[in-house]
Amino acid sequence: MPEYQLYCFAQSGNAYRAALMLNLIGADWKPIYVDFFKGGETRTPKYRSEVNEMGEVPVLVHGDKKLTQSGVILTYLSDRSGRFKPEGEDERLEALRWIIFDNQKLNGFIGPYRFLKNFAKPPVDPAVMAFLKARIDGNLAIVDKRLADRAFILGDKPTIADISLCAYLYYPADEFGFDIAETHQNIGAWLGRIKALPGWKHPYDLMPGHPNELMPSSPPRP
């Protein structure tokens, strides 16, 4: 039995944060597929009583521990491995600041936008999508500006803040309808630096469940 098990599915950027971290630190782990789309597994009483009362992925199982929320999982894995760990109180608080920004502002808008564009039935009101897109553009600009004079979010080395922020940004541009790396050059270069780290894998290669027949199309990974 691998040391870690991760409840996840390929289309979840939230789960990708945890899966990528596990792979980057060279952990002994295996994914446990969660049938979110067809089976509605996270909404079942069994899942909510036995896996995660919040009805979400990711869920990391490590021995007797069962951890949820990607920021908690990233912190736990960095503490255990010593990898991608912010150094000292100032860096720890700064990493937390960007992880919260990511969850609330960056991937907090990109995730729903991508979900509504690819999976919502009936189609969502265009005004809703325009509202989300405006927030996405503003928040991407903040990250792009941050990366103008540094290799990674906190400085010259990657931390869990980077792993959190990049979570949705490797999914194909066709799933968004716009190319983030192309329109935000600093983000594009930063994504390339993370991609060059030993152990990096695309979310569709790292987690089970792709391609998904519920998507309008299953674009090839970049």
Question: pLDDT digit string (tens) for 65-103?
Answer: 999 999 999 999 999 999 999 999 999 999 999 999 999
Q: Are residues 101 and 78 in the same domain?
A: no
Residue 94 CA to its chain's centroid (Å): 19
- Measured in whole angstroms, the distance separating CA 189 from the mean position of its chain's CA atoms is 18
Q: What is the CATH number of the domain that holds 44?
A: 3.40.30.10
Q: Is residue 216 part of a domain?
A: no
**What contacts 174, CB < 8 A, 6 or more positions away?**
217, 219
Cα separation, 222 vs 205, whole angstroms: 11
| 131 and 181 housed in the same domain | yes
Q: How far apart are the first and last CA of the chain?
A: 32
Q: How many domains does the chain have?
A: 2
Residue span of the structural domain in which 28 resides: 4-83+202-206
pLDDT at 105 (0 to 100): 97
Say if CB 32 and CB 208 are below 8 A apart. Answer: no
Closest to 143 measured CA to CA, from 182, 112, 187: 187
Q: Are 26 and 104 found together in one domain? A: no
Taking the C-alpha atoms of residue 124 and residue 116, their distance in angstroms, rounded to an integer, is: 7
In a domain, 215, yes or no: no
Shared domain check, 190 and 126: yes
Residue 217, in any domain of the structure? no
pLDDT digits (tens, 9 = 90+) for 122-135: 889 999 999 999 99
The backbone region for 113, taken as left when phi is positive above 0, alpha when psi lies in -120 to 50, beta otherwise, is alpha
Both tokens assigned to 172: 């194909």
Shared domain for 104 and 173, answered yes or no, is yes
Predicted confidence band of residue 219 (pLDDT cuts 50, 70, 90) = very low
Q: Are residues 116 and 161 in the same domain?
A: yes
123 CB-near residues (< 8 Å, 6+ apart)? none
Q: Measured between alpha carbons, how far is 10 from 31 in angstroms, rounded to an integer?
A: 10
In this structure, the answer to whether residues 41 and 118 fall within a common structural domain is no
Q: What is the pTM of this model?
A: 0.94
Q: How far apart are CA 170 and CA 174, in angstroms?
A: 11
Confirm whether 120 is domain-assigned.
yes
- Residue 158 lies inside a defined structural domain of this protein: yes
Beta-carbon count within 10 A of 30 CB: 12
Residues 57 and 145 in one domain: no
Does residue 221 carry a pLDDT above 50? no
